[in-house]
Amino acid sequence: MLRRRKNKTPPLPPLCPLAECMKLLGGAWTANLVWRLSGDPRRFSELRADIPRISAKVLSARLRALEKNGVLTRHAVASSPPSVEYALTALGRELIPVIEAIVQVGMKLQRMEEVRPRSMPGAPPRLRARATHQT
């Protein structure tokens, strides 16, 4: 039986700033959508093409949630056929540096994985398995 540790972490404040940001960016594909909208406004079909593995149902749900939370705006374009464009709000644009920082760390992790010796103790199991299959 495990003993309880006495060095508990302090409880989060009622309105934790990190939790508030993660409420906006949490969920599959949400950060990707904000990233894709960091340039020009995009239509639903363009976002589907930008992120091919996202389903229409999930994309629609994420866009609605981001609009509800004030991260993006939905603008109906008077065209034939009618169309809708999504664009980041000021709040949404404030999230871009955060996502850029995450992208930079991700790129660094990719480079580290490329140069990590496969026989290195502590390497992830998938790397060790790959090394044994190649020898």
Query: Which of 47, 24, 48, 49 has its CA nearest to residue 37?
Result: 47
**Tokens standing for residue 125:** 């199991």
Query: Using an 8 Å Cβ cutoff, are 88 and 36 in contact?
Result: no
Predicted structure pTM score: 0.71
Query: Which of 82, 76, 28, 25 has its CA nearest to residue 55?
Result: 28
79 against 126, higher pLDDT: 79
Distance between CA atoms of 47 and 51, rounded to whole angstroms? 6
25 against 12, higher pLDDT: 25
Helix (H, G, I), strand (E, B) or coil at 59: helix
- Mean pLDDT, range 105-128, rounded to an integer: 73
User: Band of the pLDDT at 128, cuts 50, 70, 90?
Assistant: very low
Fold of 17-134: Arc Repressor Mutant, subunit A (1.10.10)
pLDDT at 131 over 80: no
8 against 63, higher pLDDT: 63
Q: What residue ranges do the domains of the chain occupy? A: 17-134
